[in-house]
Each structure stands twice: as structure tokens, then as C-alpha cells.
Amino acid sequence: MYKMSLMPLFTAEAIQEMVQLLGEKIARNYKFDTIVGLLTGSFVFVSDLCRHFPDPKIKVLFIKASSYGDSTESSGKLDVSLAKDLDISGKKVLLVDDILDTGLTLQGMVKFLQEKGAAEVRSCVLLEKRARRKADIKADFVGFSIEDGFVVGYGLDCAGEYRTMPDIWTLEPET
């Protein structure tokens, strides 16, 4: 079993500051027309981030990519769903995920969107974990960077729980 850290790792205020900086950086560096968010973990991040791109033409789409069961370890196997009617042919896509951990999800999804005909795919993650990278991939835009640890809150879950919490917390093994 796991318990929450005593203090948030990132407070709601720190997250909002970071999302604003990230939004401004993306707006300066990448002219895109479609945001593709990966459900479910990125739904809060996408909703905050997208409001820094006040261009009426930008579309927001969500697809689901699961590699996690109800545990804190990646299964490594990617299952893509909700993408049946995804129309991104010729589009310049900003792919948004919550966490870059082993990199298998982001690598798989960049390839998936390219195969669907996207003209360009650049990626953005709320948080990257440096310690456990397996795939040779970097996100183009990164919010927070931590060494390791399992985090929840601000859309991130553990077995479906913790998503509605405004701060980001670390889950620690119960001793």
C-alpha cells in the first residue's frame, strides 16, 4: 500500500506558474493547429495549457493510450483507443501527455500520429522522470523534471483515485 507525502511536491500555485511559462514558450516556438491530449491523466493539464493558446482555429482532441494497469509499474504494452475518427492528416500536432517516464508511451504515440498522417508532431509533458527512460525519446516541451518517484494529483491517478486534487503529491510505500 501507498501513502501520500506530508507536503505537496508541487503546489497548485507552482503548477499554474509553470503551465503559464510553458504555454508562452510553446506559443513562441511552435505554430500548431491541433492539440492531441492523452487520456486520462492529461485532462487537467490540457484544460489549463490550452487557455494559453487563444487562437480560435486550434482544435483539441483526446485519445486514450494505456500502458498502466492498476499498479505503479508500466506494462510496456500500449493500447490505443478512442482514435477511430481521429482526423489529423496534414495537421501540425501538439501531443500532450502528463508524464514522460520510460518514454514508451510518448514514443509509441508520436509514431501513431505520424502514421495517421500528421504533418508534424511535437510533444509536451507536464512532468518528466529522468531515472527510468527506456525509449530514446525527449519531449519538445517539459514542465517539471524529477529524478523518480510515483506522483498523483492534478489529473494523475493511482488506480483511478487522486485525480481531482489540485496539488501534485508523491506516493510513498507504507512502512
Verify binding: residue 41, Mg ion, rule CB under 5 A. Answer: yes
Check if 148 is active-site: no
Q: Which of Mg ion, ligand 5GP, none sits in contact with 94, Cβ below 5 to 8 A by type?
A: none
What's the Cα-to-Cα distance from 146 to each of 18, 41, 100, 140, rounded to whole Å?
A: 14, 17, 10, 16
Cα–Cα distance between 163 and 33 in angstroms, integer? 28
Residue number, nearest CB to Mg ion: 41
CB proximity list for 57: less than 8 A, separation 6 or greater: 33
Select which of 48, 97, 98, 101 is catalytic: 101
Stretch that binds Mg ion, among 38-46, 113-121, 154-162, 165-173 (CB under 5 A): 38-46
* Binding positions for ligand 5GP, rule: CB under 6 A: 38, 41, 67-68, 74, 97-106, 150-152, 156-158
* Binding positions for Mg ion, rule: CB under 5 A: 41
